[in-house]
Structure 1
Amino acid sequence: MKIEARIFEAIAVFFLIVGVVYTIATYYFRTGVEWAGATAMFFSAGLALIAGTYFRFVARRVEIRPEDFDDAEIEDGAGELGFFSPHSYWPVMIAGAAALFAIGFATANWWFALGVIPIIIATVAGLVFEYHVGPEKH
């Protein structure tokens, strides 16, 4: 996870530098600062910093992976990567609900968009708890 943290922190520094240069350049070569682009640059830096901080935080709590070694080989990461649900229909349901929300939002049909939010929450809960068995089932 340290590699991922470094990547996102480098992206954050890049966007911060480009944002400062962009803000200064638009201030001197236009009639004023172009705020949409400057805001996008600084927000992109902030989002990358959030992701990098998360990966840095998680890296301290998980065991060292082969990706974290500078001299690791591809074979070091071989083996089972985890469990992936082979026939889950929940991602399709989430995508459909999100599409309905986007249609309601794009057409300014606010009651429709707000009415779809419980469906999105229900489908996400279905995905999260798809393989959950209660304590009495153990």
Structure 2
Amino acid sequence: MRLSNLADYAVVTMCAASRHCGGERTSATELAAETGLPLPTVQKLVSVLSRAGLLRSTRGAGGGLQLARPAAAISVADIVEAVEGPIALTACVEGVECSVEHECSVKPHWPIVNDALRGALAAIPLTRLARMEEMA
């Protein structure tokens, strides 16, 4: 399994946004500069992450972007699902028709695998990634 570039960039963007915790606001321009990501990509991610309830955008004087909840309450799973949708390794779990579905003995087990993968990503809070970034 490989995350899309956009999901990867979303994690990078959220790590940068987490450095502005504590009421301090930032902007898409500032996040792009801090991460080295193109501004249009960060603007798109800010929109997606805001719709998912991970970032909050405030307009006007003193406005800007900030995490919608504490960094410790945002997981890698939250960020990936905001960009990619539900975590699923196979399409058959999502109801997509499969040519071997009638004889597949593995399909009933994919939800277990998907839940384990989601659980692993959900166990990694944004605070942990931000700490690791500082050590690098």
Structure whose CA Rg is larger = 1
TM-score bin, normalised by smaller chain: under 0.3
Superposition TM-score, scaled by structure 1 size: 0.24
Could you say which structure has the higher helix fraction? 1
Structure with more of its chain in strand, by fraction: 2
Given the two structures, how large is their TM-score scaled by the length of structure 2? 0.24
Q: Looking at both structures, which has the greater relative contact order when contacts are Cα pairs under 8 Å and sequence separation is at least 6?
A: 2
